[in-house]
Structure 1
Amino acid sequence: MAANDSSARVRSTAAAALLAALLTAAGFCVAGIIRGTYPFGSASRSTNDLGAQYVPVYAHLWDILHGQAQGDLFFNWQSGFGVGFWGDFGVVLGSPLSLLVALFPRDQIDLAVFVLTTLKLALAAAAMVVLLRKMRPGPAWLAAALGASYGMCGWAIDDAAYVPMWLDGLIALPMFCLVGEWSLQALTPGGVRRTNRLLSVLVIGLFWFSNFYTAYMATIAGGLVLLARVLTSDLSWFRRLRVLLRHAVSVVLGMALAAPLLIPVFTANSEATTSPSGFFTPLPLDKFLSRLMPLSEGVGASASLYVGTAALLLALTLPFNGSLKAITRVVWTATVVLLGASFLWSPTQMFWHGFDTPNGSQYREAFVLCGVLVIVAWLSSADRAPSPIALGGAAALLVALALISQGSPFLTSGSVGMLAAAGGLTIAMMLTLWLIRRLGNRGWSGLPVVAAVVLVIVVGVETTLSAVVMDEQRAKFLSASAPAWGPQQTEQRDKIVAASDWPEYRTDPGTRTTPNDPMLLGGQGGGLYSSLLPASLHETLSGLGFGWAGFGRASYALDNPVTDAIFSIGAAMHRDDDLTRVDAPPLVTVRPGPAPDVPFTSAYGLQERLLGAQVYDVPAYRGSLVAPGLLTLKARCPVRSTVFLNFPQVGGQARLAGGEWQALTASRRPRTTTSSKMVELGKTPASGEVLIDLQVVAAVRGAITPRGALGCLDTAKLATAVSGLRATGATHVEAGGRSISATLKPGSTGVAVIAAPALPGWLCVRDGGKPEKPTSFGGLLSVSLPGPTERVSCEYLPPGLGIGLAAGGGALLITFALVLAAWSRRRPSASAEEPPTQGAN
C-alpha cells in the first residue's frame, strides 16, 4: 500500500511539474506573440548584451560542435586575434543545455537561443514543483500554479530572459533547496533511508559548472531555506547540526567538482580588463516594494520581486495562518523580511554579488526572494486553504502594498487594477475551498475543480500580461543590440567563408553588427566582446589605434593596412559588404631580434615597431576654433600619402576638408567606457597641405594633443615591408584547435613572431625540443631562435586548468569514499529494514 501511495505521489508530482512547465513556456511564448518579437514577429528580442555578446558565443559553440570553428573549447582563434575560450564557455555556455544549439541550423541560432531560454524557464518552474511537493504534501494543481509563478517571476522575465546563463540560477535555487531536503530527511527519524549523497554533490557541481555567478546566490539562499527548515523541525539540536554539516559538505564537494571550470574562469578574470565597481544606492522602501506588483517594470534599476498576485497573497497569509505552528510563522516571516532587508543594505548587497557591486542591474539576486516567497506560499496553503482570518490579513497587506506603491515610477496604469482583480479571484477561490473543507464535500464535488482551474488561469493570464508589459516598457529604455539572423547575415557569412584560407591568412569580418562578428559571421579578426577580455590584449590593441567600449571589454575592428599586415589579414569585409583581398605576411614571421624596448610616442610608432619598418610620417599640426565644437587642423604630409587620424578620447566626427565624415565613437564617457579607433580620412592633396575638420561632441581634458594624432602612411614603404616579411617568414603554417606550428626557412635565427596576443597559457618548442614559455614581441607571441631553427610549435592550455582538474578529481574521490562508507554501514541491516517511507516535512 505504501508503495502504491509513493508511486501515486510521484505520478502526481510529475504531472504537476509538466503542467507548470507548460504554463511557463506558453506564457513566455504568448507574451512574445503579443509583442511581436522574434521568432513571432519582426521586432528583435536581443536586448542589451543578448545580441551583441551571447548569441555570437552560441554561434561559435555551434561551429565547434560541428567542426567548423577555428579553435576549440579551450581556445578561440577567431576573436581578438586569438584568445582563450574556456573562460567564456564557463561564463556563458556552462549549462549542458547549451549543447542543444547543435540541433538547429546555424542560420537559426537566434531561434536556438530563444528555445533554450524558454526551456530553462520551464525547467525552473518544474524544479520548483518537485521541491514544493518534497517539502510538504499538497494539491498538485496548486504546486503547478506556484511553480509557474516562479518560472514567470519578474526577475526571470525582466532581468534574465536576455541573459540566458542567469536562468541556470533560477533552476539551481529549487534544486539546491531539494539537496537540503535530502540532508534533512536523511537524518529525520523514520524518514527516508536513502541518503542521496552522490546525487547531492552532483547537483551542486552541475549548477556551479553551469553558471557560478547565480549558483553562488542560489547556494546562499538554499542554505537559508534549509536553516529555516531545520529551526522549524522537531529534530534534536544535535541532529540539526548534523543536517547543516551534511549539507555544507555536499556544497563544498560540489563546488570543488566544478573546479576544472571555476579556477580557470577566476584566473582569466584576474587577468581581464577591469571595470569600475558600480555605486549602490538603496531604493526607497515604497519603490522597492512596488516591484511586487503586477505589470511593473524597473529596467534594471530596481529589484524584480514580482511572483504573481496569487503566490504573493498566499505567502502573506502565513503570519496569520493559525493552522501552522507559531515557530513556523515566526521563522519564515523573519526569513522573508530579512532577505528583503538584505537587498537594501550596502554590505549585504555586496555579499550577494561576491563583494563586487555590479554595473548595470544592481539587484541580480532578486530571484532568491521570489523563490522564498513561493515556498512560503506553499507552506501556508498546501495542507488546507487558509482561513478567512488569514486571507483577510493577507488582503489587508495587499491593500497596504498598493497604497504604499502609488507614487512609484515602476508601476504602469494597470498595476493596481490587475492586483485587485487577481487578488479578489484568488481570495474568492480560496474561501470556496475553505468552506467546502469546513462544511464537507456534500454535493459540491465539482467546486474544488472549478476553483483550481480558475486559480491556474489567473496565474497564467496575469504572469503573461506582466511579461508583455515588462518587455514593452524595457524596450523604451534598452534598444535591441542586434537584429536576428537574416538574409544579410547569410550573404555576409557566405562571402567570408568563400574568401577564407586560414591559417594562410586571416579574413576579418569587421565589427559592424556586433563586436563579436568574428564568432557570429566567421573569419578571424580583432573584434571581441567579453568580460574576460585580457588586459594585456586591450593594452596592445588600444595602443595600436583600435577602438573599444564597455570599459575596454569590447574591442572593435580597425580598417588600417599596417595593422592588417601585422596580424596577417589578407581579406577584410567593409561597410558596404564589399570584401577585398591583399597580400599579407604569413601568420608567423621571423625578425632579426626582439622588439625595441623604447617608449613610443604615438599609435603609429607602435605599429611601426610591430611591423619592423618605418612607414609613417607623423607631422605636427596647428588647430583653430571655427565655431563652438568645430575645429580645423592644418598640417603637411608627403604627397600621395594616406592620412590617418587618431583621437581616442574624442567623440564626434572628422574629415579631410570637403571629404566624407568619419565617426569618432568615444561619445560615452571617453577614456572610461569608450575609445575612438584610428580613422582613415583620405589621400593627401597635391599641395601637400592637409586640412582636417574636427567636430567635437565629447572629449576629456587634454584629448586634442599637438602631436601624435596625425599619421601620413607611405603605401609604397608598406608594400616593401610586407614583401620583406613574406620573404623571411614561415613557408608553411598549421593551426589546430589550440595549437599553431610553423615551418621556417632553413637557417632562420632571431625571433619567430606569431601574429597572436602574448597571453598566459602558451608553451612552445623549437625543433621538437623542451617546452618553454614564449616571450612577448610588443604584445605579440614570440619565440626566440638563438640558433638555426626549422620548426616552431606552440600549444595553449587555460591557466588554472591543472589545479582545477586536481581539485575536481579529489572531490570526486572523497564523494565516492563517503558513499561507500554510508553503503557499508547500511548493508548489514538492509535485509531487516522496512521499505522507505515518507520523510519528515
Structure 2
Amino acid sequence: MDGGAEQDPRRSALLPALVAGVLVAAVFAASGFIRGTFPFGSLSRSTNDLGTQYIPFFAHLCDVLHGRAQGDLLFNWQSAFGVGFLADYGVDLGSPLSLLVGLFPRDQIDLAVYVITVLKLSLAAAAMAVLLLKMSPGPRWVAAILGASYGVCGWAIDDGAYVPMWLDGLIALPMFFLVAEWSLRRTNRLLSVLVVAVFWVSNFYTAYMATIAAGLYLIARVLTSDLTWWLRLRGVVRHGIAFVLGIALAGPILLPIFAANDDATPSPSGIFTPSPVDIFLSRLLPLSEGVGRTASLYVGTAALLLALTLPFNKFVPIRTKLVWIVTTAAIALSFRWTPTQEMWHGFDTPNGSQYREAFVLCGVLIVVAWISVAARVPGPLALLGGGALLAVIAVLSDGSPLLTDHAMTVLIASGAVTIAALGTIWVVRRFAAGRRVKWPIAAAFAVVMAVVAVETTWTAVVTDEERAKLLSSSVPPWNQHQTERSEAIQGANAWPQYRADPGTSVTPNDPMLLGGQGAGLYSSLLPYSVNQTLTGLGFGWTGYGRASDDLEHPVTDAIFSIGARMHLEAGGKETITRSQVPPLVTVRRRLGATAASNAFVAQERLLGTQVYEVPEYRGSKSITGGDVKLVGRCTPGTTAFLHQPRVSGAARLTDGEQWHELTASRRPGINTNSEMVRLGTVPASGVVSAEIKFSGSPSGITATGALGCLDEQRLAKAVRMLRLSGATDVEVGGHSISATLPPGTQGYAVIAVPKLPGWKCSAGGGKAQTPRDYGGLVAVQLTGNADRIDCTYTPPGLRRGLALGAVAAAITLGLVLFGRLRRSRR
C-alpha cells in the first residue's frame, strides 16, 4: 500500500485507476446533489451551450442511431433547411462515448449527457493514474489521489463540464503522454497510432492542444532519460510517426471538418488581454471561479503542494528538477504572451473562453507532483519548502476578486492536514525501518484522500454556483412540456411532402431537439452561404451568424415548403397551424437573376412572382411612443412587414397595441441580426405608419427597403401555380433526394434546400453534375424529356479523407508486421 516497485506494473495500475475514477464520479455527483442540479434537483445543468447546442446534437444522434431522424451521419435534413452533419458530428459528438446516448430513452437525453460527462471525467482521472505509474513506480494511492485531482481539476469543472466535447481533451492529455512513454520504450506501436486517431476524431480542437503538450512532455522525458542518445532519438521518431499516422487515420472526419470550417460563418476573433498576476495565480487555489475570463488551473491543494515540493526534494535528481521546473514555467508563461496563447488555439483567438488550453498546465502540475513523490514521499524540509511556496502564492493572490468566501480558510486547512499526513508517513517509514507498519500509513493516505474529496467537492459546488450567475441563460431538462411539443410536431409531420417547423422557442436547435424541419441551427460550422441566403430573405440570427432563427412568414413558408408550424401560447401550450404550400421540389421555366436590393424582392425572386408593394417612405421623429416614425403608402388590406436587420429595439404600426422586438446588437461586432416582423394590416387610408423605438443608440435605419406590403391573394395564387407544376412525388434518403415531375416538364427543378458544396444531381438518369445555385437554393436543369431528378450529398473532403485514412492504415499495418517479423528473426 505504501508504494514501491511492483511485480506487474500493468496490474498494479488497475486499482489506483479504478479508485481515481470512482472518486471523481463521487465528487461530481456529490457537488450536483448539494447544489440541487439535474439529475438530483430542479436546477438545470444546461448552462449556455450545453443546453442550446450540445444536448440537441446528442438528441439528433440518438435519433440517427434509432432511425428516427430525417438524415444520417452525413446529412441533416432537419436543421437550416438541410445541411451537412458529418463535420458537426466530428466536432461535437466524435467521442465513442457519445454512442452511449443510443442506450437511453429519448426523453432522458439530459441524463444521457450527464452520464457521458461523468464517464469522461472518470476516464481522464483513471488515465492519469495509469500514466503516473507508467512513468515510474511509486505509491499507488498517491497515483489514485493525483489522478482524481486531475479528473476534477478547475478546468474540468469550470470549462469542460458544460462543454462535454472538450472533456475528450482531458482524457487525451494523459493518453498522449502514454504514447510518449511507449515511444521511448519502443512498445505498443499499433496502440499508439490508434490512441492518437481516436482522440483526434473525438475532438480535434483539444486533441491539437494535447498533441503540443505531448511534444513538450516527450522533450522533458528525453532530457531526463538515462537512455543512450540514439535510443532517445529513435523514441522521438517513433512518437512523431505515431502522431502523423494517427492524425492521418482520422482523415475521414478531419478533412470534412476542415472543409466545413472553411465554408462556415466567420466570427470575429477575440482580443487577448493577459489577466493580472494575482488573478492568474488565484486560479490555482480552491474555491476560485472565473470561467472564460482566466485560466482554470486548480488541481487541489494536496496535488499543488506536492508539485511545489519538487525544488526542495533531495531524492529527485537535479537535472530532472531543472527540466520540469523550466517546462512548467514555460507552459505557464505561454498563457500570458499573445503569440503563444494564439498558438494554443490554432492561431485564432476565441471570442469566448480564452484559456481553453488550461487543462494542459493542470496535467503537467499533476506530473510534477508525481515526480516529486514517486521515488519517496517528500521529507520535512521538502514539505516545508512546498508549504512556503504555497504561502507565497496565497499572499500574491490575496485580494483577487475570483476568490470566493472561505477560499483561504480551505487552503490553509487542506495544506496543514496534507503536510501533517505526509509528515506522518515520513516519520513512520524512517523510524519503523525493517518493520511492516501498514495501518498508520494507510490512515495517512486515507486522510489525504478525504481532504481531496471534500475540498474538490466544495470547490465544484462554488464553481458551478458562480458560473451559473455569470452564464445565467440555461435550458430546463426534458420535461412534460417538451414531450407534448415533440408529440405535437411529430403529429403534424409529413416529411418530405412538406416541412413541419417546430420554431426556435426553446433552443436555436429545436428541429433536432423536438423534431420536424426548420431554419433553426446553432453550430460553429453553420455554412456562410446559408447564413447569407437566410439573412437576405429576412431571417434573424444570433451568435455572430452561427445560430439561425426561425421566421414565421407566409412567403418564406411557401419558398421552403413549411406546411405545418408549431406556436407556443401563454403557459407553454402548443398549437399547430397548417397552410397550403408548394412541394419541396418546384419548377421554373427559366432562372432569372436573384440579386435583390432588399429582403422583399429576394423573397419574390425565389417565389417566382411579385407579391409585395415596397413603398418609398420618409422618416420623422415620433411623438406617440416611439423614437422614429416611417411613413409610406400601400394598398389597403395588404399586410405590412418591417425589415430593419441592424436595429435593436421594437416596432409597431402607429396606434397599434403590440410592439414587435428587434434584436440586433453589437457586443462586440455584429452579434445578432433582427428578423423581418409583421406589423399588421394596412388601414383603409393606405397610410403605413411604422414606429420604432431604440433600446440602445439610435442607428441602423435603412433609407430604402424597410417596408413591404404583402398581397395575400397574389401569394395564394403563386402557391397554387407552384403546386400544379411542382413534383408529384418526392423521396428523401439519409443524404439524397429524388423527385418525380409532371410529364413534359421543362426548365429547372428548384429544390428548397441550400446549395452547398457536395451536392451532385442528375436529370432523367443522366450524368451527375454540380447543380446550379438559384438564390442560394439547389436548381437542376431539366434536359430533354427528363421527368425525374436524383441528387446525392457527399461531404466535401470525405473522399480525400477516406483515401488518406486508407494509406495511413496500410502504412501502420506494414510497420507493425515488419516489427513482428524482425523480432521473430532474432
Q: TM-score, normalised by structure 1?
A: 0.95
Secondary structure (helix, strand or coil) at the match of 1:476 reads helix
Does the 8 Å contact 1:648/1:671 carry over to 2?
no
Q: How do 1:203-242 and structure 2 match up within 5 A?
A: 203-242=195-234
Secondary structure (helix, strand or coil) at the match of 2:597 reads coil
Deviations 1:320-368 (A, max 9, x none): 1100111011101111111100100111111111111111111100000
User: In structure 2, what is the equivalent of residue 672 of structure 1?
Assistant: 670
Question: What 5-or-longer segments of structure 2 have no aligned partner?
Answer: none
User: In structure 1, what is the equivalent of residue 454 of structure 2?
Assistant: 461
State the alpha-carbon separation in 2 of the partners of residues 213 and 196 from structure 1.
25
Deviation, 1:624, is 2.2
Per the alignment, do residues 671 and 129 of structure 1 end up closer, same or farther by CA in structure 2, a change over 3 Å counting? Answer: closer
Deviation, 1:690, is 2.3
Per the alignment, do residues 398 and 738 of structure 1 end up closer, same or farther by CA in structure 2, a change over 3 Å counting? Answer: same
AA at the equivalent of 1:623? G
AA at the equivalent of 1:676? S
State the alpha-carbon separation in 1 of the partners of residues 632 and 474 from structure 2.
39
1:630 aligns with one of 615, 627, 632: 627
Residue range with higher mean Cα deviation, 504-513 or 131-140: 131-140
How many pairs does the alignment contain?
A: 815
Does the 8 Å contact 1:670/1:700 carry over to 2?
no
Secondary structure (helix, strand or coil) at the match of 1:634 reads strand
State the alpha-carbon separation in 2 of the partners of residues 629 and 134 from structure 1.
70
Matched, 1:617 2:613: yes
State the alpha-carbon separation in 1 of the partners of residues 256 and 130 from structure 2.
34
AA at the equivalent of 1:675? N
2:603 aligns with one of 604, 607, 628: 607
User: In structure 2, what is the equivalent of residue 553 of structure 1?
Assistant: 546
1:509 aligns with one of 499, 502, 525: 502
Per the alignment, do residues 632 and 671 of structure 1 end up closer, same or farther by CA in structure 2, a change over 3 Å counting? Answer: farther
Q: How do 1:356-395 and structure 2 match up within 5 A?
A: 356-395=348-387
Matched, 1:274 2:266: yes
User: In structure 1, what is the equivalent of residue 128 of structure 2?
Assistant: 128
Deviation, 1:705, is 2.0
Deviations 1:787-809 (A, max 9, x none): 33110000000001011011111
| CA RMSD, 1 decimal | 1.4
State the alpha-carbon separation in 2 of the partners of residues 671 and 378 from structure 1.
46
Matched, 1:741 2:734: no
State the alpha-carbon separation in 1 of the partners of residues 463 and 226 from structure 2.
43
Q: How do 1:425-504 and structure 2 match up within 5 A?
A: 425-440=417-432, 444-504=437-497
Q: How do 1:687-726 and structure 2 match up within 5 A?
A: 687-698=685-696, 701=699, 703-726=700-723
Q: How do 1:341-352 and structure 2 match up within 5 A?
A: 341-352=333-344
Deviations 1:444-489 (A, max 9, x none): 5421011010011011111111001111111111013311111111
Q: How do 1:176-191 and structure 2 match up within 5 A?
A: 176-186=176-186
Deviations 1:400-423 (A, max 9, x none): 001000121111121111110100
Deviations 1:657-690 (A, max 9, x none): 2221111111444971110000111112222222
User: In structure 1, what is the equivalent of residue 526 of structure 2?
Assistant: 533
Residue range with higher mean Cα deviation, 119-128 or 621-630: 621-630
State the alpha-carbon separation in 1 of the partners of residues 327 and 596 from structure 2.
59
AA at the equivalent of 1:778? G
Per the alignment, do residues 700 and 52 of structure 1 end up closer, same or farther by CA in structure 2, a change over 3 Å counting? Answer: farther
State the alpha-carbon separation in 1 of the partners of residues 307 and 50 from structure 2.
34
AA at the equivalent of 2:717? T
AA at the equivalent of 1:238? W
Q: How do 1:690-839 and structure 2 match up within 5 A?
A: 690-698=688-696, 701=699, 703-829=700-826
Deviations 1:592-624 (A, max 9, x none): 111325x42210000000000000111122222
State the alpha-carbon separation in 1 of the partners of residues 738 and 349 from structure 2.
43
Per the alignment, do residues 24 and 671 of structure 1 end up closer, same or farther by CA in structure 2, a change over 3 Å counting? Answer: closer
Per the alignment, do residues 578 and 699 of structure 1 end up closer, same or farther by CA in structure 2, a change over 3 Å counting? Answer: farther
User: In structure 1, what is the equivalent of residue 321 of structure 2?
Assistant: 329
Does the 8 Å contact 1:649/1:671 carry over to 2?
no
State the alpha-carbon separation in 2 of the partners of residues 443 and 78 from structure 1.
67
Does the 8 Å contact 2:16/2:140 carry over to 1?
yes
State the alpha-carbon separation in 2 of the partners of residues 273 and 479 from structure 1.
26
AA at the equivalent of 1:556? D
State the alpha-carbon separation in 1 of the partners of residues 652 and 421 from structure 2.
70
Does the 8 Å contact 1:231/1:331 carry over to 2?
yes
Deviations 1:16-61 (A, max 9, x none): 1111111101100111111111111111111111111110000000
Q: State percent identity of aligned pairs.
A: 61
State the alpha-carbon separation in 2 of the partners of residues 669 and 242 from structure 1.
51
Matched, 1:409 2:401: yes
User: In structure 2, what is the equivalent of residue 319 of structure 1?
Assistant: 311
Deviation, 1:828, is 2.3
Deviation, 1:198, is 0.6
Secondary structure (helix, strand or coil) at the match of 2:689 reads strand
Does the 8 Å contact 1:670/1:698 carry over to 2?
no
Secondary structure (helix, strand or coil) at the match of 2:349 reads coil
State the alpha-carbon separation in 1 of the partners of residues 567 and 630 from structure 2.
27
Does the 8 Å contact 2:665/2:671 carry over to 1?
no
Matched, 1:681 2:679: yes
Deviation, 1:8, is 4.9
State the alpha-carbon separation in 1 of the partners of residues 30 and 557 from structure 2.
48
AA at the equivalent of 1:77? W
Deviation, 1:135, is 0.7
Deviations 1:153-173 (A, max 9, x none): 000000010000000000000
Matched, 1:159 2:151: no
State the alpha-carbon separation in 1 of the partners of residues 495 and 183 from structure 2.
54
Deviation, 1:695, is 1.1
AA at the equivalent of 2:563? G
Does the 8 Å contact 2:284/2:297 carry over to 1?
yes
Q: How do 1:69-80 and structure 2 match up within 5 A?
A: 69-80=69-80
Does the 8 Å contact 1:59/1:520 carry over to 2?
yes
Deviations 1:236-292 (A, max 9, x none): 222211111110000110000001100010000001111111111111222111100
Secondary structure (helix, strand or coil) at the match of 1:788 reads coil
Q: TM-score, normalised by structure 2?
A: 0.97
